[in-house]
Amino acid sequence: MNQIKPVIAALLLSVRTMAAPVQIQVDCAKPTVELSPYLYGLFFEDINYGADGGLYAELVQNRSFEYFNIEPRDHLREKTAGDMNPMYAWEIIERGGAKCHTTVSRWTPLNRTNENYLTIYIDKPGDGIGVANLGYDGIPIKQGETYDVSLYALLRDGDKDASLVVSLEGEDGTIYGSFQTGSLTPSWQKYSGTITASQSTDKARLTVVTKAAKTGKLLLDMVSLFPEKTFKGRRNGLRPDLAQALADLHPKFLRFPGGCIVHGYGLAQSYRWKDSVGDVAERRANHTTWGYHETLGLGYYEYFQFCEDIGAAPLPVLPVGVSCGFNFYECAAMDELDDWIQDAVDLIEFANGPADSKWGGLRARMGHPEPFGLKYICLGNEEHDTPQVRERFPLFVAALEKAHPEIKIIGTSGLSAKTPLYDFMKKLGVHSSDEHYYSDPEWFIKNQNRFDTMDRNGPRRFVGEYASNGNTLFNAIAEAAFLTGVERNGDLVEMTAYAPLLAHVDHIDWPKANMIYFNKQGLVKTPNYYVQQMFSCNKGDRYLGNRVVSANKMAPDIAVSATRDNSTKEIILKLVNYGGKDVDADIYLAGITHLDPQAEVSVLTGNPKAVNTLRNPDAIVPRKMAVKAGERFQYTIPAYSVQVIRVGTK
Ligand code: AHR
C-alpha cells in the first residue's frame, strides 16, 4: 500500500494546470526510423543452475552418474569443482540387515556417450537394497500431482523374480507414492511408470530399492523423475512457472545455450550441439564453465521447441573452435577446424532440413517433422581479439555463406563496450555483431546516446548481453534510460537481451545481477524484469522524433522514447525519470488530432534502493492507471520512475 501512495499522488498531480518546467515535444506527423521487430529478446545460459535444477524440469540430480571433477584452473571454479563426483546427490540404502557395496563403472555402458552406470553388489539380501536421489537439495512434490519415472536397470547372478520399487519418500521414511517395475533381466531394460504424490513436501527423495532374495549385481542408469505438469505439457519439458515468466516477456528471440558455456572450460568442455540432441539417454553430459554439471537434457531440440512455443526466433550460439579466453584458452588446430565448421552447417540441416535428410531426419524422429524456421546463427561469444580468432572466424563465415546464404550470421564484437572486433566483423560482412556490457547504472545513463552517431554501413548491432550490475529499482531505471536510446536507434540496433536471465538463490555464480531469481518453490521477478517487460510489450513500430525542453534551462534527469504502433495506431510514450525529483511535464503530441483522451499509463516507481525478494516479491511492480491525454496534456513524472503511456488515436 505504501508503494501505491506516491504513485497515486503523482497521478493526481498530473491533472494540475501549473506551468510545467519541462516540455516534451513529440513530432507525431513525421515518423523516423523503423524499429527492429526483434528488438527485445532473451539470452539464456546454464549459469546459476539456470537449466539443470532450474528451467529443465528434471527432478533427479546426476541421473546418469556422470558428474565428474575437473581440476580448478582459476579462482572462480574452486568453490564447486571439487564437489562433483559420480555419486553426487545419491545415497546408498541398506534395510533390515541388508549389505551391499557399490561402484560407478564403464564396462557395459548403456551406450557410448552415457558411459557411467552404478553397480550395486548385493552382498547380503535383507529388507531392501538400493539408492536414494536427493534431487536438487530435496525434491519438491505436490499432493495429487503425478510424476513420470523412468530408469534403466539390469540384474546379474541374482534372484530371477526380483523387481524394483521406486518411491517418493520423506526424510522420515514416509512413502508418498510408489511404482513397481516388472522382473529385472540380465540385460539393460528401460522401466517407466508414474507416481501420484499423496502429500506435498519440498524435501522428498526418490528411492530405488530391490528386495532381491539372493546376492547378485544390480546395475542402474538414467534414473529420471519429471512432473507431468511441464510448460505446454512437453515431455522432457520445462518448469512451468519459470517458462511462463519468460513467455510473459513476449521475447522476439532466444539466444542460447549461453555465453561462456559455449566456449567451455578448455575445448573438451565446449558446447557441441550434437551432444545435446537425440534420446536423452544418449546425450553426453558435461562439466560446464560455471563449475557444475549439465546433462544436456535441455538441449538444442528443446531450445528450438521452446522458441516455437513462445514465438521467439531461435538464435543458437556456436563455438568457433576457440575456448574461453578468461580461463583456459585452447584453440582447435587449423587442420581440425572442419569438424567445428561442419557442426555449424549441420545445425542448419537439423533445424530446417527436410525430414529425409540426415539431421532433419533426427529432428523428425524426435517429434518435429516440420522445420523450425531458423533464420540466424551466432558465431562465437565475446571473443578475445587474438590472431587465432582472426584466422579461424572467416572460415566459418565463408563455409556458412556458401552452404546456406539464406542464414543471417551474427558475429561477435569482442570483449567490452569498445567492441574491438566490430571492424573485423564489418570486413567479413556479417549481418550483425554481438556486443556485451556489464557496467554500473551511471554508465547506462551516460550512454543513452551511444548509437546516435554510429556507422550505419556496417553490421547491425546486437546488444546480446547487458546489465547494470544490480537489481535495485535504480538499476532497472538506468537500463530503461539506456533502452530509450536503443529505440531511437532501432534501425541500427537489431536486438537486445538482458543477462543473466535465471539464478537459483542458493547456487549463484553471477552475484551482481540476474533477471529472475528462483528456488524450488517459486520465483521472484526483479525490477529489471519489469523494465524488460514494459519495453518489450510496448515497443511500437516507428520512432517519433521528440525533444525535452527545460523551462528553467536545467538539464532534467529525463529520458524519452516515443513510438507509434502501426496496428493499433497508438502513440507510445516511455518516460524515464532517473533523478530524485518529480518532474512536471507538459506533453505536446504535435501533428496529430483525434486523440483518445482516455489513455493508460503503467508506472514502475518507489524507493530507488528497493529490490524484490522471494519473501517480498512485490516491493517494486508496475501499476496501471488511467491518465487524461490530449494533443497537449500535463503529467507529473515521479522521481525514480519508468512509465509507459499509450495514447489511442481515432
Ligand atoms: O552472462 C554471464 C557471462 O557474461 C556470459 O556467459 C558471458 O558471455 C559473459 O562474460
CB 180 within 8 A of CB 138: no
Say if ligand 1 is within 6 A of residue 104 CB: no
Is the pLDDT higher at 78 or at 647? Answer: 647
Say if ligand 1 is within 6 A of residue 381 CB: yes
Say if ligand 1 is within 6 A of residue 260 CB: yes
Q: Rounded to the nearest whole angstrom, what is the distance from the C-alpha of residue 9 to the centroid of ligand 1?
A: 41
> How far apart are alpha carbons 223 and 90 in whole angstroms?
11
Determine what percent of the chain is predicted with pLDDT higher than 90: 89
Residue 409 backbone dihedrals phi, psi, to 5 degrees: -95, 130
Q: CA dihedral defined by 414, 326, 436, 287, rounded to 10 degrees?
A: 120
Name the amino acid, one letter, at 451: F
Tell me: pLDDT of 11 over 70: no
Q: Rounded to the nearest whole angstrom, what is the distance from the C-alpha of residue 242 to the centroid of ligand 1?
A: 20
pLDDT at 18: 47
Q: Rounded to the nearest whole angstrom, what is the distance from the C-alpha of residue 276 to the centroid of ligand 1?
A: 21
pTM for the complete prediction?
Answer: 0.95
Say if ligand 1 is within 6 A of residue 277 CB: no
> How far apart are alpha carbons 240 and 242 in whole angstroms?
6
| pLDDT, tens only, 62-90 | 999 999 877 655 544 544 545 789 999 99
Say if ligand 1 is within 6 A of residue 45 CB: yes
Say if ligand 1 is within 6 A of residue 499 CB: yes
> How far apart are alpha carbons 634 and 603 in whole angstroms?
16
Q: How many CA atoms lie within 13 A of 545 on its CB side?
A: 7
> How far apart are alpha carbons 376 and 315 in whole angstroms?
6
Mean pLDDT of the chain: 94
| pLDDT, tens only, 173-230 | 999 999 999 999 999 999 999 999 999 999 999 999 999 999 999 999 999 999 999 9
Among 260, 323, 378, which residue has the most ligand 1 atoms within 8 Å of its CB, making it the best to mutate? 260
pLDDT at 82: 55
Retrieve residue 267's grid coordinates: 575445448
Which residues, 6 or more positions from 622, have their beta carbon under 8 angstroms from its beta carbon? Answer: 530, 533, 534, 602, 603, 604
Q: Rounded to the nearest whole angstrom, what is the distance from the C-alpha of residue 259 to the centroid of ligand 1?
A: 5
Tell me: pLDDT of 245 over 90: yes
Q: Which atom of ligand 1 is nearest to the CA of 499?
A: 1
pLDDT at 13: 42
Say if ligand 1 is within 6 A of residue 295 CB: no
pLDDT at 325: 80
Among 292, 382, 437, which residue has the most ligand 1 atoms within 8 Å of its CB, making it the best to mutate? 382
Nearest CA to ligand 1 atom 7: 259
**Predicted confidence band at 15 (pLDDT cuts at 50, 70, 90)?**
very low
Whether residue 257 is preceded by a cis peptide bond, meaning omega within 30 degrees of 0, is yes
Residue with cell 546516446: 449
Which among 489, 277, 479 is positioned nearest to 364, based on CA atoms? 277
> How far apart are alpha carbons 206 and 224 in whole angstroms?
9
Tell me: pLDDT of 20 over 90: no
> How far apart are alpha carbons 631 and 55 in whole angstroms?
46
Tell me: pLDDT of 467 over 50: yes
Say if ligand 1 is within 6 A of residue 325 CB: no
Determine what percent of the chain is predicted with pLDDT higher than 70: 95
> How far apart are alpha carbons 343 and 593 in whole angstroms?
56
Is the pLDDT higher at 323 or at 204? Answer: 204
Say if ligand 1 is within 6 A of residue 479 CB: no
Q: Rounded to the nearest whole angstrom, what is the distance from the C-alpha of residue 39 to the centroid of ligand 1?
A: 20
Among 47, 379, 383, 502, which residue has the most ligand 1 atoms within 8 Å of its CB, making it the best to mutate? 47
Element (H, E) at 549: strand 542-550
> How far apart are alpha carbons 497 and 401 in whole angstroms?
26
pLDDT at 484: 98
> What's the rounded mean pLDDT across residues 304-321?
98
Q: Rounded to the nearest whole angstrom, what is the distance from the C-alpha of residue 437 to the centroid of ligand 1?
A: 10
Beta bridge partners, 220, equal 118, 153
Say if ligand 1 is within 6 A of residue 513 CB: no
> How far apart are alpha carbons 148 and 2 in whole angstroms?
45
Element (H, E) at 432: strand 432-438
CB 495 within 8 A of CB 462: yes
CB 189 within 8 A of CB 162: no
> How far apart are alpha carbons 90 and 205 in whole angstroms?
10
Q: Kindly report which listed range (25-34, 544-553, 560-569) carries the lowest average pLDDT score.
A: 544-553
Nearest CA to ligand 1 atom 5: 259
Q: Which atom of ligand 1 is nearest to the CA of 260?
A: 6
Q: Which atom of ligand 1 is nearest to the CA of 258?
A: 6
Q: Rounded to the nearest whole angstrom, what is the distance from the C-alpha of residue 40 to the centroid of ligand 1?
A: 18
Q: Which atom of ligand 1 is nearest to the CA of 289?
A: 6
**Predicted confidence band at 326 (pLDDT cuts at 50, 70, 90)?**
confident
> What's the rounded mean pLDDT across residues 312-322?
97
Q: Rounded to the nearest whole angstrom, what is the distance from the C-alpha of residue 47 to the centroid of ligand 1?
A: 9
Say if ligand 1 is within 6 A of residue 258 CB: yes
Which among 314, 310, 292 is positioned nearest to 53, based on CA atoms? 292
Among 48, 436, 502, 509, which residue has the most ligand 1 atoms within 8 Å of its CB, making it the best to mutate? 436
| pLDDT, tens only, 564-586 | 999 999 999 999 999 999 999 99
Q: Rounded to the nearest whole angstrom, what is the distance from the C-alpha of residue 68 to the centroid of ligand 1?
A: 23
Say if ligand 1 is within 6 A of residue 509 CB: no
CB 220 within 8 A of CB 117: yes
How many whole angstroms from its chain centre is CA 180?
A: 36
CB 221 within 8 A of CB 118: yes
Q: Rounded to the nearest whole angstrom, what is the distance from the C-alpha of residue 20 to the centroid of ligand 1?
A: 44
* DSSP type of residue 616: S
Which among 465, 372, 348 is positioned nearest to 417, based on CA atoms? 465
Residue 12 backbone dihedrals phi, psi, to 5 degrees: -65, -35
Name the amino acid, one letter, at 543: Y
Tell me: pLDDT of 632 over 50: yes
Query: CA distances (Å), 89 to each of 66, 276, 306, 354, in order?
Result: 11, 22, 28, 41
**Predicted confidence band at 328 (pLDDT cuts at 50, 70, 90)?**
confident
Name the amino acid, one letter, at 49: Y
Nearest CA to ligand 1 atom 8: 259
Say if ligand 1 is within 6 A of residue 380 CB: no
Tell me: pLDDT of 1 over 50: no
> How far apart are alpha carbons 481 and 11 in whole angstroms?
21
pLDDT at 9: 42
- As a whole number of angstroms, the longest Cα–Cα distance in the chain is 92
Q: Rounded to the nearest whole angstrom, what is the distance from the C-alpha of residue 510 to the centroid of ligand 1?
A: 9
| pLDDT, tens only, 330-389 | 999 999 999 999 999 999 999 999 999 999 999 999 999 999 999 999 999 999 999 999
Tell me: pLDDT of 4 over 80: no
Among 435, 465, 468, 498, which residue has the most ligand 1 atoms within 8 Å of its CB, making it the best to mutate? 465
Say if ligand 1 is within 6 A of residue 465 CB: yes
| pLDDT, tens only, 95-134 | 999 999 999 999 999 999 999 999 999 999 999 999 999 9
Q: Which residues are catalytic?
A: 382
The DSSP result for 345-371, as a single string, is: HHHHHHHHS-TTSHHHHHHHHTT--S-
> What's the rounded mean pLDDT across residues 135-150?
98
Q: CA dihedral defined by 571, 495, 502, 436, rounded to 10 degrees?
A: -130
Positive/negative CA dihedral, 134, 135, 136, 142? negative
**Predicted confidence band at 17 (pLDDT cuts at 50, 70, 90)?**
very low
Name the amino acid, one letter, at 93: I
> What's the rounded mean pLDDT across residues 500-519?
97
> How far apart are alpha carbons 342 and 320 in whole angstroms?
11
Say if ligand 1 is within 6 A of residue 510 CB: yes
Instruction: Name the strands in the sheet holding 432-438, side by side, starting at the edge strand that comes first in the sequence.
Output: 42-43, 253-256, 313-318, 376-379, 408-412, 432-438, 460-467, 493-498
